[in-house]
Amino acid sequence: MSFQCPSCDKALRQNAKSCECGWELKPTISAEKSSLLGHSLDHQCTYNDHGSRCRYPVNFFEPGQTRSMCRYHKKHLGNAELCAKILSRSHRDTDEEYTERSNRETYGEGRSKLEQEIFDRLHKTVAARREEERMAAE
């Protein structure tokens, strides 16, 4: 069985750790270290497909859990094709790209409604507030 390079979509052998285009499989925590951390929280998504583990972080642990899945694999667990794409993307994304996309999906393109409301209350001028009140009264 083979899988596609997350960067250029070229077919790679099952245990490939790199591609001609420059993509490299980033290492996950070693089995030796993992056994030492058996009682601590594992913050890396546990989704695994043919030995390739998702690199995205876990966003929520249920009470008593020490391992879990990232927000994307939890949401789409029943869709194998989409889960495989998420896995490939986790190996292609930098930490910054993941964080930016995660925040955009959580809060929208800019601020969340609450953040925008707080910002508006703190930064609107008195004149702007009066104008809004006047418009609302009409």
Let me know if residue 11 belongs to a domain.
no
Closest CA to 28 of 39, 38, 17, 19: 17
| CA 68 vs CA 50, 85, 128: distances in Å | 18, 19, 47
- Collapse the DSSP code of 18 into the 3-class scheme (helix H, G, I; strand E, B; otherwise coil) and give the result: strand
**pLDDT > 90: percent of the chain:** 7
Average pLDDT over residues 14-18: 77
CA–CA dist 40, 73 (Å, integer): 21
pLDDT at 53: 92
Tell me whether residue 131 is in a domain: yes
Range of the domain at 117: 111-138
Maximum average pLDDT range among 47-51, 107-111, 113-117:
47-51
Residues 115 and 76 in one domain: no
Name the residue with higher pLDDT: 65 or 12: 12
What mean pLDDT is reported for the chain?
A: 76
pLDDT at residue number 87: 92
- Check whether residue 101 and residue 117 sit in a common domain: no
35 lies in the same domain as 103: yes
- Residue 50 in this model has a pLDDT that exceeds 50: yes
Predicted pLDDT at 36 = 47
Q: Does residue 23 form part of some domain?
A: no
**pLDDT at 24 > cutoff 70:** yes
pLDDT of 92 over the 50 cut: yes
Lowest mean pLDDT among 31-40, 58-67, 117-126: 31-40
Establish if 21 belongs to a structural domain.
no
Tell whether 102 and 125 lie within a shared domain.
no
Residue 122 lies in a domain: yes
47 within some domain: yes
Domain identity same for 98 and 71: yes
Same domain, yes or no: 93 and 137: no
